[in-house]
Structure 1
């Protein structure tokens, strides 16, 4: 699991970092229109993300789970047939979703005409990404995480190169419209998909002989019709698409309620509302998604392992995998989120520009990210053990809590309100899922309690060290410039990170969670 998590985490986090770093030149070239551009980008991407989920229909994760299940039974031939039929289903759902997104753009734009060309530029990506995602699911079903991780990074690399090149040409050479720059920046999703497909094609050619040998030497005892395979994919996929869309649905609730609620709170122009919307829906969200990607990567690694254990009916292994996944989540996510909160002011300034309100929103978003990440991984665990219906019910309860709290939270806390209602909704869903898992598999929380407390204590110390460095340096450094903010950010991140590494190695916590290789690192660093 750690090996799989390392690959998926590396691919996910490096692609997220790349997807955040491009913001620095992008915002610079857009100048005074950057917040408006960020708001428009966010509006289009939130809707596109939901349609992309519908197009992929949860099929990659479902195929990953089913392929792993049949491979465990030495029925590799069934897994390969699943992949072929999944491609047919994906082609159909991709075409339908792309057509609805393209022709339905005026209705989905919620009265903002600028959103229409953005949605149409994204429709073409919906056609090709499902097949790419499905191929990643096939490799994951064979417990090969490297192709998915490298493909994910290459997809982001191609996307960012096109985004920056097109924005520079439009804004700096042609002196064109920022709206045109946003349209090309969203079309970059299609360019990125081409880059991801190229890598997957390479790995398919490289591993084809080995995978064909496994297929040719499988038991071939199961006789399953094509219709049954397609039905299994759809039954597994529908809960996956809804649960995988959980975070996106929370964001869409914000998108379709924030503007109305804020107009009821005070007298804001659309320009002002777009700026406020950009602060938390795009600016802060871009940075916290780096942290949340840690949880997403671990969740992708745990599904095939849990599915294989479920196929063997090995409840002990399932219990161990669940506790390992949760502990690994706490070990990485909590210090990362608290660390981001500690350096919220300098990191926000480096990526965007100095903004007291933007920094505050980022800090609160970092705390909320813990619950968003926890939901991601516990929902994946539930799906891995085939508790799909329960997961849907618990997500529904969390969404209901979000809806009930949304307007009151915005009226009381304004721009911070949507973040707080999301945090509460995610926390409720996560608690219900963990409670259900504990009832069925008896997770050893008493044994985990000491380790969780250690992680929490070390994370708080890390937060305090990073925050202290930021505070002290801001006494002598002007916080408003990007360069000076970077001079604060680097020592704060390094100081907090080194403290956490020292504490987890000194206490042997890293060795317990990541394996004996951490001992060699501890010795090299002369930590006794």
Structure 2
């Protein structure tokens, strides 16, 4: 890598450092992206919140189409060109990607900006039109930024990507909040306020692109500046002989198609719920308000899913390495321990959110309105967590397409059940449909895993004992919730309602989590040795659990082998 000196860390340390930076940046970005929805609803209300949540999944889908798998494709071909001693060829790959990304970005921008009115009519709500036009400007910046990120990843330098991700999210949230406050104070319409909120995505993308441009300029200075026009043309010709447009697109397109599957599950609500709510007798504003209430529970589910995502990061390369080296049996127990831990965490989170739905709703969104839908949506947490971990396991085993197909099935289930249940139960029907959709995706993943000899599900370990522990935890949380609320009324009768509910919610969640952990370890559902084998999570949880004497002493238990780490694992196919 240009700029590498004798004092620089070796390749292995550089990769580890880059992975750490990228992982930390991803967590920060996801956390900011999830939590920014709370001030949005608090400042602007549920109608604006509904418009935003109707538009944003569509933007994510189109963004994936516009970037078309460029970062991964660029990183692969840049790494190959440099490994073959052709740094000019790596530059040629970047120029080819930039040409494609600018083209796709402009096309997708035009489709979204000029087609906003038509898309709004498909959604069934004209209030979304301004927000669709506003967010479309992000597509002028995101594809170029994605290509530059891929180039640096191909060099083995993950820091520019991580820094730009954090900068993008900070700028996005800052601009969104600033425009929200300004537009609300100015008395703007809900459609205009929502457009201001979605414009934060464009501002964030521009900020991320500026960061990447800064890293690119510094990189070019270190590598001796821009080559001459003749050298530039020669590099492009050499790159195109090695990596042509056809090969590049052929590699990037399947990645793009795989990426758009997950947003389609969320997009199912965008194109069905507003229309069905209007058909039930609501006007457009009322329909978007109900859609906003429905989305109250999703940020909390996404926070739980982040735990599963952090676990799953290590699963894919570890299983790929074990599959390539023929040592799958050595990691099977650790992989199954990860799945069981995910199942138990999801159960606890779902039960806790369901029991504390009213105070959590008040704590985050100022009002208990929509708590019924939040109570039902809480149970998407357990299936979402299982879906994430099982998808990582399947990807590590070489069954990437299966996870995409299963998500498509889940999206179809969501659409079908929305059409069936919403006329009967409104947004609560949509919440039931969401639980069923995630359960379908998770269930299909588990069935596929069993074909590989993984996910040997024992009835007692996955059914009876967890159910007893979950019910006991729910009872403890409910008792603490009731006692804390009543005690606050007696001790501090003038305490604001939202503060009282916040205190009650936090106490109930903490008490429920502690009770669940105690029950799990005392029931033998989770042993210290198994917890230690879970990637990312075990090492963080064991010290405090031992310090607080929650973990009993386990003697004579065989410890599952921890999942091996691998900088890269050869890809092989399985049937």
Asked if TM exceeds 0.5, the reply is yes
Instruction: Report what 2:450 is aligned to.
Output: 438
Larger Rg: 2
Instruction: Report what 2:300 is aligned to.
Output: 287
Q: Per-residue displacement from partner, 1:459-481 (whole Å, max 9, x unpaired)?
A: 55544433332232233457983
2: CA distance between counterparts of 1:123 and 1:454?
50
Distance 1:270 1:190, change over 3 A: closer
1:492 corresponds to which of 479, 500, 508: 508
| Residue 109 of structure 1, CA deviation | 0.8
Q: Which runs of 5+ in 2 are unaligned?
A: 1-14, 224-237, 490-494, 553-575
Secondary structure in structure 1 of the residue aligned to 2:426: helix
Q: Per-residue displacement from partner, 1:444-466 (whole Å, max 9, x unpaired)?
A: 52699848987776555544433
Instruction: Report what 1:216 is aligned to.
Output: none
Distance 1:337 1:176, change over 3 A: same
1:417 equivalenced with 2:429 (yes/no): yes
Secondary structure in structure 2 of the residue aligned to 1:445: coil
2: CA distance between counterparts of 1:319 and 1:449?
20
Q: Give yes or no for contact 1:56–1:93 (8 Å, CA) kept in 2.
A: yes
2: CA distance between counterparts of 1:68 and 1:317?
34
Q: Give yes or no for contact 1:21–1:351 (8 Å, CA) kept in 2.
A: no
1: CA distance between counterparts of 2:71 and 2:191?
33
1:359 equivalenced with 2:375 (yes/no): no
| Residue 107 of structure 1, CA deviation | 1.0
Q: Give yes or no for contact 1:8–1:297 (8 Å, CA) kept in 2.
A: no
Q: Per-residue displacement from partner, 1:476-501 (whole Å, max 9, x unpaired)?
A: 45798322222212222332344455
Q: Give yes or no for contact 1:462–1:500 (8 Å, CA) kept in 2.
A: yes
Q: Give yes or no for contact 1:13–1:294 (8 Å, CA) kept in 2.
A: no
Instruction: Report what 1:343 is aligned to.
Output: 356
| Farther off after superposition, 147-156 or 451-460 | 451-460
1: CA distance between counterparts of 2:43 and 2:16?
41
| Residue 344 of structure 1, CA deviation | 1.9
2: CA distance between counterparts of 1:48 and 1:426?
22
Q: Give yes or no for contact 1:23–1:352 (8 Å, CA) kept in 2.
A: no
1:511 equivalenced with 2:532 (yes/no): yes
Count residues with an aligned counterpart.
508
| Residue 346 of structure 1, CA deviation | 1.4
Hey, which of these two has a bigger chunk of helix by percent?
1
> What are the residue-to-residue correspondences of 1:226-375 with 2, within 5 Å?
231=246, 233-264=248-279, 266-280=280-294, 282-299=295-312, 302-306=315-319, 315=328, 323=336, 326-327=339-340, 329-330=342-343, 332-356=345-369, 358-375=370-387
2: CA distance between counterparts of 1:226 and 1:117?
45
| Residue 367 of structure 1, CA deviation | 0.6
Q: Give yes or no for contact 1:68–1:307 (8 Å, CA) kept in 2.
A: no
Q: Give yes or no for contact 1:147–1:203 (8 Å, CA) kept in 2.
A: yes
2:126 corresponds to which of 106, 113, 118: 113
Q: Per-residue displacement from partner, 1:133-171 (whole Å, max 9, x unpaired)?
A: 455566777898776555444322221111111222222
Instruction: Report what 2:115 is aligned to.
Output: 104
1: CA distance between counterparts of 2:157 and 2:77?
12
2: CA distance between counterparts of 1:236 and 1:335?
41
Q: Give yes or no for contact 1:98–1:127 (8 Å, CA) kept in 2.
A: yes
Instruction: Report what 1:466 is aligned to.
Output: 477
Q: Which runs of 5+ in 1 are unaligned?
A: 212-222
Q: Give yes or no for contact 2:449–2:455 (8 Å, CA) kept in 1.
A: no
| Residue 271 of structure 1, CA deviation | 2.7
> What are the residue-to-residue correspondences of 1:215-234 with 2, within 5 Å?
231=246, 233-234=248-249
Q: Give yes or no for contact 1:246–1:395 (8 Å, CA) kept in 2.
A: yes
2: CA distance between counterparts of 1:359 and 1:96?
41
Q: Per-residue displacement from partner, 1:379-426 (whole Å, max 9, x unpaired)?
A: 454445543444444334333333333322223322122222233233
Q: TM-score, normalised by structure 1?
A: 0.78
Instruction: Report what 1:217 is aligned to.
Output: none
